[in-house]
Amino acid sequence: MTAPAVSIEGVSKRYGEVVAVQPLDLEIPDASFFSIIGPSGCGKTTTLRMLAGLETPDGGVIRVGGQDVTRTPAYRRPVNTVFQSYALFPHLDVQENVAFGLREERRPREEIDRRVREMMELVRLTGRERARPRQLSGGQQQRVALARALVKHPAVLLLDEPLGALDMKLRKELQTELKDTQRRVGITFVYVTHDQEEAFSMSDQVAVMNEGVLEQVGAPQEVYRRPSTVFVADFVGQANRFAGSVSGPSGEGYQVAVEGAGTVAAQGPLGLSPGAGVSVVVRPENIGLDGATGFPATVTSVSYLGPSRSVRLDAGGLGPILATVAGDGRPVAEGDRVNVFFSAADAWIIP
């Protein structure tokens, strides 16, 4: 395996009394699509800006391609950014915007022209070279911003919520496009977003941050199925949580005593000792309603979503339960008594 594209060791940042980022350790594999997700104010953008050199960390070391760049100013870092508002220069046209960085490198004219032309083809904007940023649609502006950063052949490309200002349909299109572009150029993308679905659809790896703390890093599936904290479980999709205590091992997992539901089997991290208070997390789509086993619950509401139906249940002391069932499955109605169940493989324990 090659050296990580980015490695962050103990990097922290505070603004006065406010801690934006707690000492953070993170390695970003080379040539990967890496996302940092979290709610607004979680420190993801600050982390990105420290990578770009637009903020100075209070402590720690940042390496890009093995080189310490902690004290290197932004304009000397082999890193480029696609900004949230795109930050296209309003007084320059598309061509000049894309050529901006190469001109700062004092490249020869022919090289600049050639590289800009190639980049315009890559982002499919050939023909719009002389347009001003404000004459472009949101999606086109986004592509100019991407071209402007990529044309410099950065070691790492940073993207700060680059699709945030676009409507849903365009977002989906551009997500695919971004992922394709990343594969084609083979550059490490570090992508910041508050939208976990967006991050999951594109990323090789995802880091979840909350209140300046890195909660979990892993492949999207791993983070979704095996959240390491309650925060991650809730932030990444919807989750039913049952409080209980570990009563003992069971096969590859554990037995957990959940009040109001008896003992359930669930997977969990290694080394949990009996008696420990835990939460068992089950995703709504893994909840079954017509089990022979399980615990009884009453349907309180059903909403039809097309391909699926979202069912709210009341299971007494367990609190409300959310289940997602196939849209064309057995119809359930408000007031129905059902048996709620889930398999041990779909239940995950959070200490």
Partner 1 sequence: MIIRKHAFTAAVSLLVVIFLWAPLVIVAVNSVNSNPLLVRWDGFTTDWYRQALSNSDVRAGLRATITIAAASTAASLVIAVTGSLWWRRAGRRGRRAFDSLTYLRIMLPEVVFATALFLVFTRLHLQLGTVAVVIGHTVWNSAYATLIVQARTASLDPALEDAAADLGASPWRVFRRVTMPGLLPAIVAAGLLAFTFSFDDIVTTFFLNGSDTPTLPVVIMSMIRFRISPEINAIGILVMLFTVTMFAIAFLAVIRLGRGARRSLSLPETPE
Partner 2 sequence: MIAGRRNQLLRGLLGLPTFGYVLAFFLVPLVMIAVYSFARVSLVTFDISFDWNLDNYRQIHDPLYFDTLVRSIVLSVGATAGCLLLGFPLAYFISRQPPIWQKLLLVLVIVPFWTSFVVRTYAMVNLLEGHGPLADLLRGLHVISGPLQVLYTPRAIGIGIIYSYLPLMVLPIYVALERIDDDLLAAAADLGAGPRRVFRRVVLPLAMPGVAVGCVIVGIPAMGEYVIPEILGGGKTLMLGNIITTQFLTVGDIPFGSALAVSLMGVMAVTLLATRRFTRVEAQ
Q: What tokens appear for 237 in the block?
A: 């999709």
**Neighbour order of strands in the sheet with 253-258:** 262-266, 253-258, 240-250, 277-282, 347-350
Is residue 54 part of the contact set for partner 2 (CB under 8 A)? yes
CB 302 within 8 A of CB 285: no
Stretch that binds partner 2, among 27-35, 72-80, 305-313, 324-332 (CB under 8 A): 72-80
Which of the choices partner 1, partner 2, none does residue 304 contact, using the CB cut-off of 5 to 8 A by kind?
none
Is there binding between residue 74 and partner 2 (CB under 8 A)? yes
Using CA atoms, how far apart are residues 32 and 135, in angstroms rounded to an integer? 33
> Which of 56/245 has CB closer to partner 2?
56
Q: Does 253 bind partner 2 (CB under 8 A)?
A: no
Residue 105 binds what, of partner 2, partner 1, none (CB under 5 to 8 Å, by partner type)?
partner 1
Rule CB under 8 A: say whether 72 interacts with partner 2.
yes
Under the criterion CB under 8 A, does residue 75 sit at the interface with partner 2? Answer: yes
Q: How far apart are CA 121 and CA 129, in angstroms?
A: 11
- Selection from 344, 279, 342, 337 nearest residue 313 by Cα: 337
Q: What does 56 bind: partner 2, partner 1, none (CB cut-off 5 to 8 Å by kind)?
A: partner 2
Instruction: Report if residue 53 touches partner 2, rule: CB under 8 A.
Output: yes
Give the C-alpha distances (Å, rounded to integers) separating 291 from 288, 298, 304, 335. Answer: 7, 14, 22, 17
**CA separation for the pair 268, 341 (Å, rounded):** 18
104 binds partner 2 (CB under 8 A): no
Query: What value, to the nearest 5°, has the Cα angle with vertex 347 and ends 346 and 351?
Result: 145
Shortest distance, CB of residue 192 to partner 1, whole angstroms? 14
Query: What, of partner 2, partner 1, none, does residue 71 touch, CB below 5 to 8 Å by kind?
Result: partner 2
Q: Which 177-216 positions form the footprint of partner 2 (CB under 8 A)?
A: none
> Which residue ranges make up the site for partner 1 (CB under 8 A)?
52-54, 73-76, 79-81, 83-91, 100-101, 104-105, 132-142, 148-149, 152, 165
Q: Does 87 participate in binding partner 2 (rule CB under 8 A)?
A: no
* Region binding partner 2 by CB under 8 A among candidate stretches 50-58, 176-184, 234-242, 296-304: 50-58
Tell me how far, at minimum, the Cβ of 178 lies from partner 1, in Å. 17
Q: Kind and range of the H or E element at 221?
A: helix 220-225
Do strands 277-282 and 347-350 pair parallel, antiparallel, or not at all (unpaired)? Answer: antiparallel
Q: Which is nearer to partner 2, 49 or 143 (CB)?
A: 49
Q: Which is nearer to partner 1, 126 or 137 (CB)?
A: 137
The answer to whether 297 and 313 are in contact (CB under 8 A) is yes
For partner 1, give the closer residue by CB, 131 or 302. Answer: 131
Residues in contact with partner 2 by CB under 8 A are 53-56, 71-75
